[in-house]
Amino acid sequence: MLRLQGRARGYEWGGNGTIPALFGYSPAEMRVAELWFGAHPDDPAIVGATADAPLFDPAQFYPGSPGEDHRLKSMRRGRRRRATHLPAPTEDLRAYIARQPRQALGDSIAEHDGELPYLLKVIAPECPLSLQVHPSREQAREGFAREDAAGIARDSAVRNYRDRNHKPELAYALEPFEAIAGFRTTRRIEGVLGGLDTKLTNELLSYIEQGISALFSRLLAAETRPTGEEISEVVEACGERLSRGLSPSPRADRIVTILARQYPNDPGVVASLLLNPVSLRPGEAVFIPAGTVHAYLSGTAVEIMASSDNVLRAGLTHKHVDVPELLRVMDTSAAPPIRIAPERMSEAVSTFYAPVDDFELSTLHLRDATAIEVLRARGPRTVVCLEGAAELITASDHEMLNTGQAMFVPDSDGQLAIRGFGELIVASVP
């Protein structure tokens, strides 16, 4: 087993305190939007962290602290362990797997593609993420090759395809989590747009018979996108019918007003009316297939996905937007959000099975510190302790994992058992 130190990502939609507070740290001086625990080339986790190391390297997010020991003591609010030096980042998880793929991944995965199939994250949007879609594997391979041939650098801000992989994903709510995902039915769209009686929504209603692609293209394409005044008129109409108790979808109208505060002239504000609102309570999960238009709005969640960073954005962002490419790859089928119910493996263990071969996610709610839970999953596993403490046990090793610590368990370690008291998540492969 190898202790992991995750990699924090400071996107503009993140906050200073949510993720640090989740693991008992004081608010950061910079935004912490996501923590990555994977082997994706953009930001692979560090292996071989010490038992006293924080969940992520604080140097980037606590730059004002005068020294390592002081910085760690200030971060470890209420913790009893003595702060020690940070681990030297001598190797990352991607390099470790490349050195010994069969040991790390198992024969089947090593022979298939030789890389960790999943990327595990903790995500905490304090304001809405971009309206986006992820490509299928075939679309990603074609797009990656096309942008390489065009000479677009792989770290360029205008690049869509940063790798060759698809990106289906599952979000498991740790706190109430809000999103929009997938298109409503035509009749439902008519009901949501009807009654607003604005120039823009009346025109959109006239496009209904042409299909979802026509509606979305009318809103987002550069040559037809609405003016700021037209968008404002829709926002005001949504607010008016909401205040009068006349809304056919109160959540949809509330989402419009929230998005308009953050992106007042963005057509994605109006496009949100075409999508299904999603509200997750803690412990619930939603699956986002490749091709599904979606945006995460607020909350805290564990996110697991195929190991990819391919994102095609349509709006609600200051990053690169490529509407034609998004329209090309998006799925226009009307479908409700795909909520995944877990299978109860025992009193303490539940597993969420997504309809893909790249990942599955197990949650452990340990309430009897003397009971040993033997996990079914084999192959490469990533364990994160969200709360409490647990002992990880294999045939040849055992390690303690406390709140805010993570572990990579290679295939060669064999069966994994866990005992303790607290909350853990385990990422694995079917």
d(CA 349, CA 345): 5
Of the candidates 31, 218, 225, 313, the residue annotated as catalytic is 313
Host H or E run for residue 349: strand 349-353
- CB atoms near residue 339 (< 10 Å): 11
134 is known to lie in a ligand binding site: yes
Nearest in space to 58 (alpha carbons), one of 12, 8, 97, 103: 8
d(CA 351, CA 362): 4
Contact call for residues 84 and 75 (beta carbons, < 8 A): no
d(CA 420, CA 391): 6
Contact call for residues 360 and 429 (beta carbons, < 8 A): yes
210 is known to lie in a ligand binding site: no
169 is known to lie in a ligand binding site: yes
Which residue bears the tokens 């929504």? 201
Beta-bridged to residue 112, according to DSSP, are none
Residue 137 has phi, psi (to 5 degrees) of: -65, -45
Residue 114 has phi, psi (to 5 degrees) of: 75, 15
CA 264-257-239 angle, 5° bins? 120
d(CA 220, CA 241): 25
Annotation says 313 is catalytic? yes
Three-state DSSP state, 175? coil
Host H or E run for residue 389: strand 381-393
Which residue bears the tokens 């507070």? 21
- The dihedral built from the CA positions of residue 193, 198, 204 and 205, taken in this order, carries a sign that is positive
CA 396-398-399 angle, 5° bins? 145
294 is known to lie in a ligand binding site: yes
d(CA 301, CA 34): 10
CA distances from 64 to 27, 29, 53, 306 (A): 12, 8, 19, 36
Q: How large is the angle between the packed helices 228-243 and 199-206, nearest 10 degrees?
A: 100
Beta-bridged to residue 383, according to DSSP, are 407, 426
Annotated binding site: 132, 134, 169, 294
Annotated binding site for Zn(2+): 132, 134, 169, 294
Residues assigned a catalytic role: 313
